[in-house]
Amino acid sequence: MTVKSAKTLVMKFGGTSVGSAQAMGQAAEIIKQARPEWERMVVVTSAISGATNALLDSATHAAKGDLQPLLDTEKSLLANHGKIADEQITDPTLRAQVKQDVAHLITAFGNLCRAIAVLGEASPRALDAVASLGERLSVRVLAAVCESHGVAAKYVESTQLVITNASFQNAHPDFGATTLATRSILNPLLDAGIVPIVTGFIGATPEGVVTTLGRGGSDYSAAILGAVLPADDVWIWTDVDGVMTADPRMVPEARTLPEISYGEIAELAYYGAKVLHPKTVRPVVEAGIGLRICNTFNPSHPGTRLVANTKNGKPVQSERIIKAVTAIRKQRLVTIEGRGMLGVPGVAARAFAAVASTGTSVPLITQASSEQSICFAVPSESVEAVLTALARIFSAELADRDIDRVWATEDVSIITVVGTGTRNTPGVAGHIFSKLGQINVNVLAIAHGSSDVSVSLVVESVDDEKSVRALHELIVSTARTD
């Protein structure tokens, strides 16, 4: 007789899902309702909505000698977490303990910011220590709220679980060390029927120094823990009904996708969709576990289920060639151009090395076949640093006129059309550009590389909303007929 092993679920709740007393109570109730089906459950929580921004803003101002934002943040954090505790934690002793723990953490935050004010500098390491306070506060409150809803729970700081390198503010996990630490700490709790409530977003170096995984990294935390336990499923609880066909603020008729492939969601997450952190996909794909995105405030909705890109070794064919349309705003196109670039090896390598030296990510690249120009997009706030770095690396070529100029456009938007059929279905690109032509939108740049699930194009920032709305219409008109 084969004994079926207990199923394991990792749930993650975002900032709005724990951002008020009512929301945190709802999250605890969702956890309680899922317990009968899932014997082993781990919950990852974000900071309450707005907390991380307030924490980092306080630290930034403290470095300039301005402590007023710190005083305001201390008061608001104490009041907001205290209100949740008062309304949702029924046991007076537990409530008092949680409020005391919250007060101690806020005091530690204040001391850290005052030290930053004395130094006049907020280092990446110090900022990670500050940013981690949001999750460290919320995890204590949520664990106690779960207890009040009849769920045996214990808070666990992921500094004990997620072991990372020392790349502060964007740390990379050591999956081997993380697997050993996570299993040794969480498995005894799970075996005892306790739900660990774990801080998202943060980890620690092998020496125990706090790091963070990048903004929005709680999704990534859930994927990491799901992969290393391993879990059977990871559920991301947010404030929308799953992955939508477009931003409903741009396209009111946008609707939820019941299914989307891992490749499609990876493109959407990278190109502006805020529903999932871009790094979340890889750990769950490699571990072969399920992923679902659902709405804390509409828990009966099935949400969006992520499915494999292939089945029996063949690409999965969706009923829709185009699944979704998304936009990244506040980008600039940087162009390096000059007739002296023709046939000269290493120009692109040097250019992107210069960009990398500024810590800037490049979401889109295009190059003319004549090799006389290279064009790529960077975030608007990074463009001055990028132009300076390029001018320095190509100073000799600019002086000799081998490179005529390095320049940047005004703000533009990257529009990305996502769907598994965008590469292999004849006529899709024609539909896209015909649609934009009909509404008099000029396409400034195009990228359609090795990915078979997306086409990206650049338009003037004033044209982004009407472009998204027009391309969204293709989701219906490009349905498969085979």
pLDDT digits (tens, 9 = 90+) for 279-290: 888 899 889 898
Residue 50 φ/ψ region, left for φ over 0, alpha for ψ in the -120 to 50 degree band, beta for the rest: left
| 200, pLDDT greater than 60 | yes
- The DSSP line for 382-434 is GHHHHHHHHHHHTHHHHHHTSS-EEEE-S-EEEEEEE-TTTTTSTTHHHHHHH
Q: Residues 72-96: what's their mean pLDDT? A: 97
Q: What is the pLDDT of residues 320-347, one digit of tens each?
A: 678 899 999 999 999 999 877 776 778 8
Q: Report CA Rg, the chain.
A: 24
Give the separation between CA 264 and CA 291, rounded to whole angstroms. Answer: 13
What is the residue range of 114's domain?
Answer: 8-239
Q: What is the pLDDT of residues 171-189, one digit of tens each?
A: 999 999 999 999 999 999 9
Name the band, by pLDDT with cuts 50, 70 and 90, for residue 314: very low
Tokens of 3: 């004994």
Pairing assessment for the beta strands 412-418 and 454-460 based on DSSP bridges: antiparallel
Q: What is the pLDDT of residues 375-420, one digit of tens each?
A: 999 999 999 999 999 999 999 989 988 889 999 999 999 999 988 7
Average pLDDT, the chain: 90
The DSSP secondary-structure symbol of 48 reads P
Report if residue 272 sits inside a domain.
no
Name the residue type at position 375. Answer: C
Q: What are phi and psi of 3, to 5 degrees?
A: -90, 120
| 482, pLDDT greater than 90 | no
pLDDT value of position 448 = 72
Q: Quick one: CA dihedral 125, 126, 130, 133, positive or negative?
A: positive
Structural contact between residues 32 and 151, judged by C-beta atoms closer than 8 angstroms: yes
Residue 327: strand pairing partners: 415
Name the band, by pLDDT with cuts 50, 70 and 90, for residue 479: low
Single out the residue of 449, 438, 375, 380 nearest to residue 412, CA to CA: 380
Name the band, by pLDDT with cuts 50, 70 and 90, for residue 312: very low
Write the CA distances from 111 to 124, 214, 287, integer angstroms: 17, 24, 41
Write the CA distances from 236 to 265, 276, 292, 356, 423, integer angstroms: 13, 8, 6, 32, 29
b/e burial code for range 453-476 (CB count within 10 A of at least 16 → b):
bbbbbbbbbebbbebbbbbbebbe
Give the separation between CA 217 and CA 223, rounded to whole angstroms. Answer: 10
| Least confident residue range of 21-25, 263-267, 271-275 | 271-275
CATH code (residue 16) = 3.40.1160.10
Count up the domains in the chain and report the number. Answer: 1
Those residues with Cβ within 8 angstroms of residue 368's Cβ, 6 or more apart along the chain or in another chain: none
Give the separation between CA 156 and CA 158, rounded to whole angstroms. Answer: 6
Report if residue 217 sits inside a domain.
yes
Q: Is the peptide bond before 230 cis (omega within 30 degrees of 0)?
A: yes
Report if residue 98 sits inside a domain.
yes
Report if residue 466 sits inside a domain.
no
Greater model confidence, 400 or 34: 34
Query: For residue 352, what is the enclosing H or E element?
Result: helix 347-357
| Least confident residue range of 39-53, 154-168, 227-241, 345-359 | 345-359
Give the separation between CA 85 and CA 225, rounded to whole angstroms. Answer: 27
Write the CA distances from 241 to 15, 44, 191, 238, 275, integer angstroms: 16, 19, 32, 8, 10
Angle between helices 428-438 and 464-472 (to 10 degrees): 130
Those residues with Cβ within 8 angstroms of residue 117's Cβ, 6 or more apart along the chain or in another chain: 62, 63, 65, 67
Those residues with Cβ within 8 angstroms of residue 335's Cβ, 6 or more apart along the chain or in another chain: 373, 374, 375, 405, 406, 407, 408, 409
Report if residue 440 sits inside a domain.
no
| Least confident residue range of 96-110, 130-144, 252-266 | 252-266
Structural contact between residues 222 and 284, judged by C-beta atoms closer than 8 angstroms: no
CA atoms within 13 A on the CB side of 291: 32
Report if residue 470 sits inside a domain.
no
| 193, pLDDT greater than 90 | yes
Report if residue 278 sits inside a domain.
no
Q: What are phi and psi of 7, to 5 degrees?
A: -80, 145
pLDDT value of position 3 = 35
Q: What is the pLDDT of residues 414-473, one digit of tens each?
A: 999 988 766 566 678 888 999 999 999 999 998 875 456 888 999 999 999 999 999 999
Report if residue 430 sits inside a domain.
no
Q: Quick one: CA dihedral 394, 396, 402, 405, positive or negative?
A: positive
Residue 310: strand pairing partners: 315
